[in-house]
Amino acid sequence: MITIEINKKKVEAEPGETILTALKRAGVSVPTLCHMSNLFPSGACRMCVV
With residue 21 as reference, give the H or E element that holds it.
helix 19-25
3-state secondary structure of 7: coil
Distance CA 13, CA 28 (A): 13
DSSP, collapsed to helix, strand or coil, labels residue 6 as strand
Closest to ligand FES by CB, 2 vs 47, is: 47
Query: Shortest Cβ contact with ligand FES: which residue?
Result: 48
Chain residues binding ligand FES by CB under 6 A are 32-35, 43-48
Looking at beta carbons only, is 39 or 44 nearer to ligand FES?
44
Give me the least distance between CB of 45 and ligand FES, in Å please.
Answer: 4
